[in-house]
């Protein structure tokens, strides 16, 4: 009898061990991380299905809000990009917790390990904070719960690092390789909103500025360079690396401006419209995303998803600084998409638009092309539809859409590493948006003076009669 009971106990223990070993693992990675006060850092919430089929996942993670602050919580690739619905993405710093959940909407389920979400923190003060799951739930395709083991994490925060010099310098040139002397260069830390103006000289295209690591800049923070000369403006960003901190600066960060009076190319980027505060385009469409287009190729990014019947918007980095006109001329666009495959035959449309400060949209040029199987690169001529006059404060924007059903999606690329830079190009009559060339202003002013002179002469002639 005793042997039978012992055997049953052993069998039960083995069953428990097998069940524990096969449970899905939900983990904070890295499990232990050491940072300094003031640092920004990222942890991943990873899922290892251990052979299970995962169809939906959610978690709630708690942290010490006197030591840490959550900056962002972003979707990871675990459940995929297509056929996924976001259930919850909440950040509550006052309570010291984040909540996240998503589910697949179509089969198959997921059996491979991956990152469910990434959380960016800022270390506020020295100490040790646990990163503890209070909820970690997973479901199979029948929405039955899956046995889950949660693995918590720890963040150790040391005293802030002593400040050290961080030297920035570079050169500004035009796209014809001529020097752009004495540009205006404003540098902004996008993580802290601190701003500086770099030192320049009227006889040189060289610029420089000294920052302090530990005070002005930390590894992982992003610097924005707003470079202006005459009517031309370009904005570039750069994420500072630890190796640059180690060598003491960002060296030879060079910037290229377009030569005044030429067509301008506006490259699509992954930057959100909130970084430039363009007026929201009230065009009656559902917007998949509101992003930014820039006069320089993006340094990073891959693609964004465009659903059928929805629109992607790309806004210029600034509005018109004075009244100007592009005349009645065509624009061109180059769009890189994913292979349309069975979506071939649907059309992709690019609308070049003027947006008033109140958000009223006027399409000034438009073009469409049919999607072709195995083709991912499309050249589109956007034919002018009205006089392209901009008043001060009006904003240039581009709307991209396609005619597929709402259930279908394509990708629109802005991929610098894969040389898939989608863009629009203004006509040769571009006056130099957002500020016309000096010669254009002189001609415009001369015309006004001539009209004024004619009016005075006419009035004098009428009095003499």
CA–CA separation, 282 vs 162, rounded Å?
A: 49
**Domain end residue (candidates: 158, 181, 210):** 158
- Given this model, what pLDDT does residue 403 score? 92
CA–CA separation, 244 vs 213, rounded Å?
A: 10
Quick check: is 52 in a domain? yes
**Domain end residue (candidates: 229, 257, 285):** 257
**What CATH number does residue 125 fall under?**
2.60.40.680
- The reply to whether 53 and 170 lie within a common domain is no
- Given this model, what pLDDT does residue 5 score? 45
Quick check: is 462 in a domain? no
Confidence of residue 462 (pLDDT cuts 50, 70, 90): very low
For 292-327, write each residue's pLDDT tens digit.
999 988 888 899 999 999 999 999 999 999 988 888
- The reply to whether 113 and 192 lie within a common domain is no
Quick check: is 458 in a domain? no
Over 70: is that where the pLDDT of 94 sits? yes
Inter-residue contact 404 to 308 (CB < 8 Å): yes
- Given this model, what pLDDT does residue 209 score? 96
**What CATH number does residue 244 fall under?**
2.60.40.10
- Given this model, what pLDDT does residue 336 score? 94
- The reply to whether 190 and 300 lie within a common domain is no
Quick check: is 273 in a domain? yes
CA–CA separation, 212 vs 196, rounded Å?
A: 12
- The reply to whether 137 and 34 lie within a common domain is yes
Say which residue, 255 or 258, is predicted with more confidence. Answer: 255
- Given this model, what pLDDT does residue 3 score? 52
Residue 79, number of CB atoms within 10 A of its CB: 22
Say which residue, 386 or 56, is predicted with more confidence. Answer: 56
- The reply to whether 129 and 199 lie within a common domain is no
- The reply to whether 196 and 91 lie within a common domain is no
CA–CA separation, 110 vs 131, rounded Å?
A: 25
Quick check: is 397 in a domain? yes
Over 80: is that where the pLDDT of 19 sits? no
65: domain range?
A: 21-158
Inter-residue contact 198 to 185 (CB < 8 Å): yes
Say which residue, 448 or 124, is predicted with more confidence. Answer: 124
Quick check: is 317 in a domain? yes
- The reply to whether 144 and 181 lie within a common domain is no
- The reply to whether 373 and 402 lie within a common domain is yes
- Given this model, what pLDDT does residue 342 score? 79
Quick check: is 465 in a domain? no
The pLDDT > 70 percentage for the chain reads: 88
Over 60: is that where the pLDDT of 459 sits? no
- The reply to whether 281 and 355 lie within a common domain is yes
Task: Provide the number of structural domains found in the chain.
Answer: 3
**Domain end residue (candidates: 158, 187, 220):** 158
- The reply to whether 217 and 353 lie within a common domain is no
CA distances from 291 to 36, 205, 265, 356 (A): 33, 31, 16, 17
Quick check: is 441 in a domain? no
Over 50: is that where the pLDDT of 70 sits? yes
- The reply to whether 419 and 280 lie within a common domain is yes
Q: Which residues of 347-376 are buried (b: 16+ CB within 10 A; e: fewer)?
A: ebbbbbbbbbeeeebbebbbbbbebeeeeb
- The reply to whether 239 and 276 lie within a common domain is no
DSSP H/E element including 7: helix 2-22
Q: What SS3 string covers 305-365?
A: EEECCCEEEEECCCCCCCCEECCCCCEEEEEEECCCHHHECEEEEEEEEEECCCCCEEEEE
């Amino acid at each position: 009898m005793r042997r039978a009971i012992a055997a049953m106990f052993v069998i039960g223990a083995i069953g428990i061990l097998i069940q524990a070993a096969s449970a899905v693992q939900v983990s904070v990675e890295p499990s232990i991380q050491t940072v300094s006060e003031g640092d920004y850092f990222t942890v991943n919430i990873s899922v290892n299905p251990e052979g299970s089929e995962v169809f939906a996942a959610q978690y709630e993670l708690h942290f010490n809000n006197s030591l840490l602050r959550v900056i962002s919580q972003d979707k990871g690739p675990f459940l995929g990009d297509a056929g996924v619905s976001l259930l919850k993405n909440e950040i509550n710093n006052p309570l010291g917790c984040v909540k996240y959940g998503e589910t697949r909407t179509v089969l198959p389920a997921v059996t491979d390990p991956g990152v469910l979400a990434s959380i960016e923190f800022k270390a506020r003060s020295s100490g040790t904070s646990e990163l503890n799951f209070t909820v970690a739930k997973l479901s199979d395709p029948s929405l039955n719960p899956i046995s889950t083991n949660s693995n918590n994490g720890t963040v150790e925060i040391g005293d802030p690092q002593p400040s050290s010099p961080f030297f920035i310098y570079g050169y500004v040139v035009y796209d014809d390789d001529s020097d752009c002397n004495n540009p205006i260069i404003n540098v902004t830390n996008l993580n802290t909103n601190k701003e500086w103006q770099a030192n320049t000289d009227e006889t040189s295209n060289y610029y420089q500025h000294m920052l302090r690591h530990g005070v002005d800049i930390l590894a992982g923070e992003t610097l924005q360079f707003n470079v202006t000369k005459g009517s031309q403006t370009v904005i570039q960003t750069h994420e500072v690396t630890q190796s640059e901190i180690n060598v003491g600066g960002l060296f030879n960060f060079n910037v290229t401006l377009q030569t005044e009076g030429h067509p301008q190319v506006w490259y699509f980027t992954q930057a959100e419209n909130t970084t430039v505060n363009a007026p929201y385009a009230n065009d009656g469409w559902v917007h998949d995303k509101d992003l930014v287009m820039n006069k320089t190729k993006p340094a990073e990014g891959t693609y964004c998803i465009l659903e059928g019947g929805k629109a992607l918007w790309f806004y210029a980095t600034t509005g018109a600084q004075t009244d100007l006109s592009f005349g009645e001329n065509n624009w061109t666009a180059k769009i890189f998409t994913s292979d349309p495959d069975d979506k071939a035959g649907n059309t992709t449309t690019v609308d070049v638009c003027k947006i008033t400060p109140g958000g009223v949209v006027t399409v000034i040029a438009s073009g469409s092309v049919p999607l072709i199987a195995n083709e991912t690169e499309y050249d589109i001529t956007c034919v002018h539809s009205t006089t392209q006059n901009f008043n001060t404060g009006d904003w240039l924007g581009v709307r991209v859409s396609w005619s597929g059903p709402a259930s279908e999606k394509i990708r629109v690329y802005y991929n610098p590493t894969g040389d898939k830079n989608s863009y629009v190009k203004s006509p040769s009559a571009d006056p130099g948006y957002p500020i016309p060339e000096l010669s254009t202003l002189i001609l415009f002013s001369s015309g006004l003076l001539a009209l004024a002179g004619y009016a005075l002469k006419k009035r004098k002639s009428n009095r003499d009669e």
